[in-house]
Amino acid sequence: MIGIATMLQKQGFKVSGSDISMTEEVEQLKMLGAKIQLGHTPKLIKNADLVVASSAILKNNLELVIARTLNITVIPRAEMLGTLMKPYRSIAVAGSHGKTTTTSIIASIFNAAKLSPTYVIGGQVLSVGKSSILGAGEHMVVEADESDGSFMHLQPDVEVITNIDNDHLNFYDSSQEKLNQAFVSFAENLPFYGHIFLNLDDVNIQKIVKSIHRKKISFGFQTRNQYQIYETSLSNGNQNFKLLDREKKIEYQFSTRLSGKHNLYNVVAAICVALEEGITPAKIQKGLNSFKGVGRRFEINSLEFNHKEIVLIDDYGHHPTEILATINAIKEKFPRKRFCMFFEPHRYSRTQQLFEDFVGVLSQVDQVLLFDIYPASEKPIRGIHSKKLAASINQNNGNASLVNLTSAMQWIECNNKEFSVMVTQGAGTISQLNLAIKSKWKQKK
């Protein structure tokens, strides 16, 4: 929402809006001239010609109720984004996991190639500290959200689907098939001259690929892909790999500082987009070198605890697949190091649907400390709570206990000597713990 509001403000529109906290990006938007209020009240709505609402806002929100009463047009975020994309050669990145990172890497590569892209991303790009940039070039790169079907409003020239997993199934009547078909519909939004990049290692993408009637370019480790990843290796904290264009019989060699196999998929998706847009391998590698990551996507800080260095990782992942990717990346980057994870489950419905998956994944962590479930506007579901999740993890030979923000800080004070890596994991309020830790313990330069 901030990225879209910033673009509109810079394009000369009069922007107003509300938020629940005054973050740094909200402050920057305010400095550009936007009228910002804290809390949801009808004060600014009365003078608006149009209201744009994210899918996170409930229909009974006071501002939306007032807007409808005053017959002010209300549109979803994605519809506004789709309108902003029209003058550009637009690239939309969709998928259950990795879309924020992939979108950000594409933007970094295009910047390195001096193409000055415009981008709107669901996270803060660490190198610039922003989730959006209004560039001067012809390209616009955006993140497409499947969680509420709103990505159907987008009609880009180029698409990427990173993967399809069993997330946000509530919106799709608990049907993986309906979710898969939504991605088919998204792909069919491409113009006849457009093309789509697909990770054909992904099982659900394999199920829909024949239903997509647009030019398809595939990537992954398997030989069925046009762009095949192989000969991966680790050195000096970097992942090195070769990429073979099997169609043109051209071999490339790249490296990335990002950890984990999941990030190789993200990086390669971005590389494929860049290659097809005519960017040279040298400029692509320059973009990979300058990419410092995205806020809360395996974001690493080194802290000093009583003269001992501890790595603190903050990660937004809240689905079992994403948590497993974090765990595997930690084991790869910090082999033989003991680590603990502070995890805040996100939504009662997701916890219920994927309960056994959460148990299996979290049982692989040396020590799990669970916060209460973050409801994200959902009502509690009877019998679904963090206490039950902790008990099931412990029955599965894991090691879990319950904490809140205060007791978590106390636990760290008493137990920090036992661990070399700490992780704050989740999409709710868990980042507050990460900030509290960094405020109390000194960060190493």
Cβ atoms of 222 and 228 closer than 8 Å: yes
Residue that is written with structure tokens 């395996």 in the block:
298
Q: In this structure, what token pair is assigned to residue 354? A: 């994927």
Active site residue 100: yes
Rounded CA separation 154/84 (Å): 10
Q: In this structure, what token pair is assigned to residue 141? A: 């790169």
CA angle at 255 for the pair 249 and 259, rounded to the nearest 5° = 125
Cβ atoms of 343 and 425 closer than 8 Å: yes
- H or E element at residue 206: helix 203-208
CB-based contacts of 218, cutoff 8 Å, min separation 6: 197, 198, 199, 200, 209, 224, 225, 226, 227
Active site residue 424: no
Identify the CA nearest to 162 among candidates 185, 182, 137, 143.
Answer: 143
Instruction: Count CB atoms within 10 A of the CB of residue 152.
Output: 17
Identify the CA nearest to 144 among candidates 68, 200, 81.
Answer: 81
Active site residue 99: yes
The two counts, helices (H) then strands (E), for the chain are 15, 21
Q: In this structure, what token pair is assigned to residue 228? A: 């095949």
Q: Which of 25, 63, 143, 322 is catalytic?
A: 143
Task: Please enumerate, as own/partner, the contacts of 248-255 that have beta carbons within 8 Å and a separation of 24 or more.
Answer: 252/281, 254/281, 254/284, 254/285, 254/288, 255/285, 255/288
Task: Please enumerate, as own/partner, the contacts of 325-330 that have beta carbons within 8 Å and a separation of 24 or more.
Answer: 325/97, 325/260, 325/261, 325/262, 326/260, 326/298, 326/423, 326/425, 327/361, 327/364, 327/365, 328/260, 328/261, 328/262, 329/259, 329/260, 329/262, 329/263, 329/298, 330/259, 330/421, 330/423
Q: Which of 6, 63, 99, 101 is catalytic?
A: 99
DSSP result, 99-117: HHHHHHHHHHHHHHTT---
Beta 250-256 vs 308-315: how paired, if at all?
Answer: unpaired
Q: Which of 6, 63, 100, 118 is catalytic?
A: 100
Indicate the SS3 state at residue 299: strand
- Give catalytic residues, as residue numbers: 99-100, 143
